[in-house]
Amino acid sequence: MEFKKIAHILVAYSIAGSAFAATATFHPIYSIENNSDLPFIPPEISNFGQMPFGQAIWSPEGTTDLNSAALQISADGERVLVREGIIDNGILIPLALPEDGMNFVSNGMSDDGSVRTGGKHSNSYQLWTADSGYLPQYTGKYLDLSENGRYIITKSEFLDLSTGITTNLSTEWDIEAVAVNSDGIVVGQNDTEAVMWKNGQVTGLGFIVPQTRSKAYAISENGKIVVGRSNTNDPDPSLSRAYKNNPESWHIQEAVIWDEVHGMRSLEELLATEYNVDLQGWRLANATTISSDGSHIAGIGLDADGNLGTWMVRLVDECSELSW
């Protein structure tokens, strides 16, 4: 895989004569020359813009090598989940093994590291808590664990660990779950539309007209901001290897951001109109993650030369009404 190094772009925008200002920093992280492979899909991002990236943590200030696959990072950036355990402030805390001593690798953690998920292979997952150790009664292919460690989702189920109650989102609401926050708010897709599920109520998040499909990939901790994509294509180009040599397909989808006041909007348009950001020809195809506080968004797209790549943007509002 060949990578093209890209310089960071910093744009600051202040509204003259106003009591508030909006600033945005756009970081093209890397591009793949000749689209020889799929781009790295950002799984998680801290409130300071730190992001797991292969066997390292990437940030606007540079890259920190870990010599182990980085899977997740805490909101404050102090804890990193790796396959062998948790690196807390630079110190590896090994993952306790199940009683049978079988090989076990991590795949998810709560923000403080006290709740973790992992498994012996891709279809065998278990839950571990600092108080109780391994809980064999909870198994499944977990997709996301809330920051407070209370809620877990699979593609079709929602589990509240405080009550032990499992809700089948697929059977009852036809929802494909993707992410969950600490209030138990789930985002994902219902047939063709991005949706939010909260306390048994489903809210459709819409599309970017004239597109006909959308999918939510991440939600902020306060539940006010959702990011994802809107498109006119049936498969998900961000996950399908069939698209790696057909970047033209990426032009039919775009990264989106949703809030209750504005509804679903193009992230590119938001950056252009409210932050005056020049994306230098980048096409933001999918926003795959958002930081806990909503200040950082990362995803995948195409650079000015049509190469697949990964990007991150930092949004700062001194007055919350400006964007949300």
From first CA to last CA, the distance across the chain in angstroms is: 39
pLDDT of residue 2: 37
pTM score, two decimals? 0.87
Closest CA to 22 of 292, 311, 282, 276: 276
Sign of the dihedral defined by the CA atoms of residues 287, 146, 239, 78, in that order:
positive
From first to last of the 324 residues of the chain, give the pLDDT tens digit: 333 333 333 333 222 233 335 789 899 998 777 666 667 888 899 999 999 998 999 999 999 999 889 999 999 999 999 988 899 999 999 877 666 555 667 788 999 999 988 776 545 568 888 888 888 777 777 889 999 999 999 999 999 999 999 999 999 999 999 999 999 999 999 989 999 999 999 999 999 988 889 999 999 999 999 999 998 655 454 444 444 555 555 557 899 999 999 999 999 999 988 899 989 899 999 999 999 999 999 999 988 888 888 999 999 864 343 344
Closest CA to 142 of 130, 128, 162: 128
DSSP assignment string, 190-251: ETTEEEEEETTEEEEEE--TT--EEEEEEE-TTS--EEEEEES-SS-TTT-GGGTT-GGGGG
Closest CA to 230 of 200, 256, 249, 204: 256
pLDDT of residue 34: 65
pLDDT of residue 216: 97
DSSP assignment string, 129-166: ETTTEEEEEEES---EE-TTS-EEE-SSEEEETTTTEE
Element (H, E) at 271: helix 267-274
Structural domains present in the chain = 3-322 (2.130.10)
- Secondary structure class of 172 (helix, strand, coil): helix
pLDDT of residue 70: 93
Structure token digits, residue 238: 């961000």
pLDDT of residue 100: 59
Q: Using CB atoms within 10 A of its CB, is residue 179 exposed (0-12), middle (13-18) or buried (19+)?
A: buried
Distance CA 231, CA 228 (A): 10
Q: Which residues pair with 307 in a beta bridge?
A: none
